[in-house]
Amino acid sequence: MSKISSFRVNLLSKNGLKSKVLFKNIKNNRLSKFIKPSSRVISRQRRQFDNFMKVLIFLSFIIVSIPLVSIIYIVVANGLTQITPYFLTHTMKGVMGGFSPFGGILHALVGTILITLGAMVISIPIGILTAIYLVEYAKGNKLSSIVNTLVDIMSGVPSIVAGLFAYSLFALFFGPTAVFGISGSLALSVLMIPTIIRSTQEMLNLVPNQLREASYGLGVSKFRTIIKVVLPTAFSGIVTGVLLSIARVIGETAPLLLTAGSIDSLNLNLFSGRMMSLPVYIYNEYSQGLAVCTNNIFGADCLSDIRMQRAWSAALVLFIFIIILNLVGTTIKKRILKKRGK
């Protein structure tokens, strides 16, 4: 402040009297008489513009939040009708129309978990290793440009195309009736791999080169530098990318409808037979519409809208499943980072 004030004194003062007045105002922090009116106008305009932008940003946040809050409210309000222990622990085997027993989603929930785990086993190693090659080894050669182009193309591939690819691949070896859970895992992995590659690539690029150079200076090989220095530093970002890729595919319906099919009973074998998943279950229940409860020859309870109730409840379970998955991943990431910090 003193340097700036003395500089202004030299510019504005030409006699001792004015210098004394200016020094006195500087000392008492009263510089308003030396500020031009235009400066005050500009300052007022800036404050007004700043307030306007704050209001605009707040309104944008409210507008963006409305659809999200509406979706959460509608899913929760409609999905709670059938969320019972029976619904979560029974399958649809033996269920007829809208008559009791009303069935459950056990087979779809287990199928979703198994298919997603299979997709993770396929996509995570491929995605991380590809990102390591592009960042640590390729260094802008022709092969890396080809791989980057292919990753960009794969990022925009529709999910139905990934399903057709997985179905065609298994049909070549096992015939046109080859509909397995592992085929659905392959279709989802095609959608997961680009997300994992891009997120891991960005995280590896954020690792400071000084860490690599320090490791090389100690005589550590490139491979061990990547394993012991680069990957641990980028670990939290890699976990986040994997979770994003899972959230990207766990609700996909079209590829699983082609590859894994649907079934009313529980199937625990990814490599044999059809396997139900929550997105396909929701699609099947909603597409069948209302049940017919006339001519009740069984004398059992009947709900005409039971299929809609099951679809909404399955959607809520899928929503909760995604939230739990993200919470588990975040907790694991924090614990590992805490241990390494110690």
Q: Are 253 and 280 in contact (CB under 8 A)?
A: yes
Task: Kindly report the number of other CB atoms within 10 A of residue 239's CB atom.
Answer: 19
Q: Could you give the CA distance from residue 111 to residue 262 in angstroms, rounded to a whole number?
A: 10
Which pair of structure tokens corresponds to residue 164? 């057709």
pTM: 0.79
CA distances from 12 to 5, 17, 34, 36 (A): 10, 12, 9, 13
- What pLDDT score was predicted for residue 2? 47
- Say what the pLDDT of residue 95 is: 80
**Residues written for the chain:** 342
> What pLDDT is stored for residue 97 in this prediction?
74
Long-range contacts of 220-226 (CB under 8 A, 24+ apart): 222/136, 226/132, 226/136
Residue 340: the pLDDT is 62
Encode burial over 276-290: b for 16+ CB neighbours within 10 A, e otherwise: bbbbbbbbbbeeeee
Side chain identity, residue 69 = V
Tokens 């959460």 locate to 72
Convert the pLDDT of each residue in 267-323 to its tens digit: 998 888 889 999 999 998 888 888 777 666 555 677 778 888 899 999 999 999 888
Decide: 307 and 113 in contact? Cβ < 8 Å: no
pLDDT of residue 142: 84
Q: Determine the residue type at 98.
A: G
Give me the residue label for tokens 């092969």.
143
Q: Which two tokens stand for residue 231?
A: 């990957």
Q: Which residues of the chain have pLDDT under 50?
A: 1-28, 31-32, 34, 342
Residues with Cβ within 8 Å of 258's Cβ and at least 6 positions away in sequence, in order, are: 160, 163, 164, 166, 167, 187
The 8-class DSSP code of residue 292 comes to: P
Structure tokens at 119: 């997709």
User: Helices 306-341 and 106-132 meet at what angle, rounded to 10?
Assistant: 40
Q: Which residue is it, tokens 């390494």?
A: 340
With contact defined as beta carbons under 8 Å apart, do 329 and 239 qualify? yes
| Residue 248: predicted pLDDT | 83
Spatial distance between the Cα atoms of 195 and 176, rounded to a whole number of angstroms: 30
234's tokens: 């980028």
Q: What are the beta bridge partners of residue 302?
A: 99
Cα(145)–Cα(323) distance, integer angstroms: 36
How far, CA to CA in Å, does 9 sit from each of 15, 24, 30?
10, 11, 14
